[in-house]
């Protein structure tokens, strides 16, 4: 039985629908990330799970029990907020102990658990300090330790890393996963940052305008996005999109753009037949464009796109190369490589081999995927 | 505009009590350094802390006087010229703005000290403010204490530009900024450098920054310049083992290897020698260098050197993983797909076209892959 079950959940603020009829289930030890642009309803959903926001319609079940009308403090959830929400007048120790004290847990247990949790998050030397004497990263760890000492049914996180700088964020992610693994309870995590979602989530729900566009593992979203929005939202650098028309020729289907024509794999023929002659969006991820010499497939004119190199940006795993197609309707696109591309190619036109099995095609109007 | 030349510069920091009859007790900060910064180019100096990179900058600025050797701007010997007369603009890590003066005062100071006309001062300050772009005018009316780190650095850069320097010297100008701001500021500085085309020496410990900023990179160690070249040159054609390990993140793996009887012996594994190695005359004991992307990783027994996996670091945004393990007492790191399984053992085979060979004793490069022709 799922631990959390949400069905047809809706939230209206007056005329505005913040969350529009969403449903999902969450298993025993799962880490679910709600991700989407601001205003997509992810935080409202989380707040309804916590009980901080009344539900307009629909149901929230914890362990099969309906909690819609149960007050936040009686739901037994632990929540970590973006602004840490530590009490400024309490010491670190008392901040961590707060949730336990308010539930009447004995001092003996508090004196055991608080230092242990503080140690786990490397703040055991700060227990006597007040929050204003702490850095942002340390305050965040106080908030995590406060969640850690609780035995909550569900752990909720509302953009807990947004206020930290890049270097601290990496460590803080690890800290959150430590908490999750230790507790063995479901966690729901809200963020607008897709890379954070990919790094943390067992499953990820991509939200837009109050709806879940797609829910799946990071790889599912990345490899088989259901629509253009999900395809574009997931992955950095973003997927390359080209306006194309489908044409049938010699028993195969080709995607024709002003800059190149590529032959689509035979497996997709059946699904694409009805769209021949229609405008589509062709999507190809930056990593699926290869150096022709090193491509793990046969390269010909039917899977080659050419571009002029504008910028080469080194990364820890190789480099990103920013290019433009030649001609009147020039398009910018990007390719990522597992090798360093020498700067000698700057300003030159180079051919890239497109892995046609990784091509995404979307209806230009409905933006739904035509192949997945 | 000028070409900057350091000719055989020696600089000791030792105080008198550290100088004995047998010479200096400590190694020099600059050990007979010669370097040419071409007219209009940006040259980054990188190296571990204490390598002498900041000293090099100070010698060019005239803030340190060399024990021997010369500094030339174009053909003019600057060695004995006072710092204020060299026409250099310097930007420091800690900004070094005059705290009592507003932004405008900081920019005007040079003209006041040198008793230039009010008219020249006003024109120059106005022109510089325009060049610095949007919103800079607002910073001129504020005192440094009320400016953020990034804003202070913009004022410091403007203070350099306003005096038309012939040479720009920057000492870790953006290290004090937080990560996001650093990225934005470095783009801004690069644009300015391109706009002015001023000869620039840029000191940093961050090689990503060096790659981004500069036309060429000088790699320093213990007062010596180990190599000068474009990033591609130091990456693909390193002069020695130090340069190869210093350039590239995560770093290259260096493993001891024995070359014998047509085989490369690493630990207990014998790999057949690649074609080019037969032809090259290499010593028996070498150090083999392979970058993370230069390993061919496999789970098949015998497909290379067996390595016990200690750690798989997954980078979901890069869609890649680093598989780490120990090989002949050194850590090796291989690039793999993101979904590479969590296995205990892998077999690593160098992609020989991308391998480096160094002398086991001198650490000089004996074979380098060279800048690849990819397309």
Question: In this predicted structure, what is the pLDDT of residue B133?
Answer: 77
* Whether residues A268 and A224 fall in one domain: no
* Whether residues A206 and A283 fall in one domain: no
For the structural domain made of B250-367, what CATH number should be given? 2.40.50.140
* Whether residues A262 and A215 fall in one domain: no
Question: In this predicted structure, what is the pLDDT of residue A161?
Answer: 87
Q: Residue A298's domain spans which residues?
A: 240-363
Query: Of the segments A169-178, A228-237, B143-152, which one has the largest average pLDDT value?
Result: A228-237
Given A233, A263, A297, the domain boundary residue is A233
pLDDT digits (tens, 9 = 90+) for A66-106: 999 999 988 999 999 988 889 999 999 999 999 999 989 99
* Whether residues A207 and A311 fall in one domain: no
* Whether residues A278 and A161 fall in one domain: no
pLDDT digits (tens, 9 = 90+) for A254-284: 999 999 999 999 999 999 999 999 999 999 9
pLDDT at B130 over 90: no
CB contact under 8 A, A317 and B375: no
User: Looking at per-residue confidence, does B93 or A308 come out higher?
Assistant: A308
Question: In this predicted structure, what is the pLDDT of residue A1?
Answer: 66
The answer to whether position A251 is within a domain reads yes
pLDDT at B208 over 90: no
Residue of B nearest to A235 (CA): B317
Question: In this predicted structure, what is the pLDDT of residue A52?
Answer: 94
* Whether residues A199 and A273 fall in one domain: no
Given A172, A200, A233, the domain boundary residue is A233
Domain ranges of chain B: 4-241, 250-367
The pLDDT of A336-349, averaged and rounded, is: 94
B-chain CB neighbours of A346 within 8 Å are none
What is this structure's pTM?
A: 0.82
CB contact under 8 A, A342 and B374: yes
Q: Which among A166, A219, A318 has the least Cβ separation from residue B293?
A: A318
* Whether residues A205 and A173 fall in one domain: yes
List % helix, strand, coil for chain B (3-state, nearest 5).
Answer: 30, 35, 35
CB contact under 8 A, B320 and A314: no
B-chain CB neighbours of A317 within 8 Å are 292-293, 315, 318, 320, 335
* Whether residues A67 and A120 fall in one domain: yes
pLDDT at B17 over 80: no
- CA atoms lying within 13 Å on the CB side of residue B217: 26
Q: How confident is the model at residue B22 (pLDDT cuts 50, 70, 90)?
A: confident
Given A233, A260, A286, the domain boundary residue is A233
User: Looking at per-residue confidence, does B316 or A69 come out higher?
Assistant: A69
Q: How confident is the model at residue A167 (pLDDT cuts 50, 70, 90)?
A: low
| Number of domains observed in the structure of chain A | 2
pLDDT digits (tens, 9 = 90+) for B210-219: 988 999 999 9
Question: In this predicted structure, what is the pLDDT of residue B49?
Answer: 86
* Whether residues A199 and A221 fall in one domain: yes
Residue of A nearest to B375 (CA): A350
Query: Of the segments A54-63, B24-33, B109-118, B129-138, which one has the largest average pLDDT value?
Result: A54-63
Question: In this predicted structure, what is the pLDDT of residue A166?
Answer: 67
Q: Where are the beta strands (DSSP E) in chain A?
A: 4-13, 16-26, 31-35, 57-62, 65-66, 77-80, 154-158, 187-191, 203-208, 211-216, 240-249, 252-256, 261-263, 279-284, 289-290, 304-315, 318-324, 332-337, 349-354, 360-363
* Whether residues A217 and A346 fall in one domain: no
Question: In this predicted structure, what is the pLDDT of residue A256?
Answer: 96
pLDDT at A352 over 90: yes
CB contact under 8 A, A343 and B316: no
* Whether residues A266 and A196 fall in one domain: no
Q: Which among B231, B317, B339 has the least Cβ separation from residue A198?
A: B317
Query: Of the segments A232-236, B6-10, B302-306, which one has the largest average pLDDT value?
Result: B6-10
CB contact under 8 A, A316 and B315: yes
* Burial group, residue A8, by CB count within 10 angstroms (0-12, 13-18, 19+): exposed
Residue A207's CATH number:
3.40.50.300
Q: How confident is the model at residue B26 (pLDDT cuts 50, 70, 90)?
A: confident
CA-to-CA dists, residue B65 to A328, B57, B60, B160, B343, angstroms: 58, 11, 9, 22, 58
The answer to whether position A89 is within a domain reads yes
Residue of A nearest to B320 (CA): A317
The answer to whether position A77 is within a domain reads yes
pLDDT digits (tens, 9 = 90+) for A105-133: 999 999 999 999 999 889 999 999 999 99
Average pLDDT of chain A, as a whole number: 93
Q: Give the number of A-B residue pairs with CB atoms closer than 8 Å.
A: 70
Question: In this predicted structure, what is the pLDDT of residue B245?
Answer: 94
CB contact under 8 A, B315 and A166: no
Looking at the domain covering B4-241, what would its CATH class be? alpha beta
Integer Cα distance of B369 and B244 in angstroms = 12
CB contact under 8 A, A339 and B249: no
* Whether residues A126 and A39 fall in one domain: yes
Question: In this predicted structure, what is the pLDDT of residue B304?
Answer: 93
Q: Any idea which of A28-37, A56-65, A198-207, B173-182 has the lowest mean pLDDT?
A: B173-182
pLDDT digits (tens, 9 = 90+) for B212-250: 899 999 999 999 999 999 999 999 999 999 999 999 988
């Amino acid at each position: 039985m799922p631990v959390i079950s949400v069905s047809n959940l809706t939230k209206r603020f007056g005329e505005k629908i913040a969350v529009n009829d969403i449903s999902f289930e969450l298993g025993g030890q799962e880490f679910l990330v709600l991700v989407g642009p601001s205003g997509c309803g992810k935080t409202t959903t989380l707040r309804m799970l916590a009980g901080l926001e009344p539900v307009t319609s629909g149901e929230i079940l914890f362990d099969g029990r309906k909690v819609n009308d149960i007050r936040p403090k009686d739901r037994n959830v632990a929540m970590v907020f973006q602004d840490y929400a530590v009490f400024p007048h309490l010491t670190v120790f008392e901040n961590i102990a707060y949730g336990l004290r308010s539930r009447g847990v004995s001092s003996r247990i508090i004196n055991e658990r608080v230092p242990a949790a503080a140690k786990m998050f490397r703040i055991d030397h700060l227990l006597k300090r007040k929050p204003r004497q702490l850095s942002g990263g340390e305050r965040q760890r106080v908030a995590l330790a406060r969640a850690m000492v609780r035995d909550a049914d569900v752990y909720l996180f509302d953009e807990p890393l947004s206020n930290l700088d890049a270097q601290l964020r990496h460590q803080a992610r690890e800290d959150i996963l430590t908490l999750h693994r230790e507790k063995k309870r479901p966690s729901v995590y809200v963020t607008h940052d897709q890379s954070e979602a990919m790094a943390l989530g067992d499953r990820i729900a991509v939200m837009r305008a109050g709806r879940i566009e797609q829910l799946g593992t990071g790889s599912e979203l990345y490899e088989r996005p259901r629509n253009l929005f999900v395809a574009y939202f997931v992955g950095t650098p973003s997927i390359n999109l080209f306006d194309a028309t489908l044409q049938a020729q010699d028993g195969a289907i080709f995607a024709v753009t002003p800059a190149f024509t590529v032959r689509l794999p035979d497996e997709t023929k059946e699904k694409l037949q009805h769209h021949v002659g229609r405008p589509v969006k062709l999507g190809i991820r930056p990593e699926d464009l290869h150096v022709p010499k090193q491509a793990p497939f046969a390269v010909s004119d039917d899977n080659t796109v050419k571009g002029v190199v504008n910028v080469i940006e080194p990364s820890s795993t190789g480099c990103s190369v920013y290019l433009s197609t030649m001609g009147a309707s020039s398009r910018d696109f990007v390719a990522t490589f597992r090798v360093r591309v020498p700067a000698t190619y700057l300003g030159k036109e180079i051919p890239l081999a497109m892995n046609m099995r990784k091509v995404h095609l979307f209806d230009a109007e409905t933006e739904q995927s035509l192949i997945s | 505009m000028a070409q900057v030349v350091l000719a055989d510069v020696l600089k000791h920091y030792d105080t008198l009590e550290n100088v004995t009859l047998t010479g200096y007790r400590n190694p020099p900060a600059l050990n007979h350094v010669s370097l040419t910064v071409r007219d209009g180019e940006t040259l980054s100096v990188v190296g571990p802390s204490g390598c002498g990179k900041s000293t090099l900058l100070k010698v060019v600025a005239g803030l340190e006087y060399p024990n021997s050797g010369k500094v030339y701007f174009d053909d003019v010997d600057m060695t004995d010229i006072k710092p204020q007369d060299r026409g250099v603009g310097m930007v420091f890590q800690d900004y070094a703005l005059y705290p009592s003066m507003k932004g405008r005062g900081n920019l005007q100071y040079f003209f006041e000290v040198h008793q230039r006309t009010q008219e020249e001062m006003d024109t120059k300050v106005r022109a510089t403010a325009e060049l610095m772009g949007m919103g800079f005018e607002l910073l001129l009316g504020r005192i440094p204490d009320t400016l953020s780190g990034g804003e202070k650095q913009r004022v410091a850069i403007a203070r350099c530009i306003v005096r038309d320097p012939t040479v720009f010297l920057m000492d870790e100008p953006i290290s004090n900024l937080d990560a996001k701001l650093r990225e934005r500021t470095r783009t801004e500085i690069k644009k300015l450098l391109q706009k002015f085309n001023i000869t620039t020496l840029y000191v940093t410990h961050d090689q990503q920054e060096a790659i981004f900023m500069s036309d060429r990179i000088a790699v320093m160690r213990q007062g010596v310049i180990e190599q000068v070249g474009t990033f591609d040159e130091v990456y693909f054609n390193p002069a020695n083992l130090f340069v190869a390990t210093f350039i590239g993140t995560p770093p290259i793996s260096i493993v001891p290897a024995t070359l014998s009887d047509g085989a490369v012996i690493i630990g207990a594994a014998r790999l057949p020698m690649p074609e080019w190695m037969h032809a090259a005359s290499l010593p028996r004991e070498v150090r083999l260098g392979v970058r993370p992307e230069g390993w061919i990783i496999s789970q098949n027994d015998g497909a290379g050197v067996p390595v016990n996996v200690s750690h798989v670091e997954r980078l979901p945004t890069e869609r890649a993983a680093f598989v780490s393990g120990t090989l002949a007492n050194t850590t090796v790191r291989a690039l793999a797909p993101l979904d590479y399984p969590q296995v205990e053992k892998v077999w690593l085979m160098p992609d020989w076209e991308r391998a480096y060979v160094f002398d086991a004793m001198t650490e000089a490069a004996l074979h380098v892959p060279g800048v690849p022709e990819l397309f």
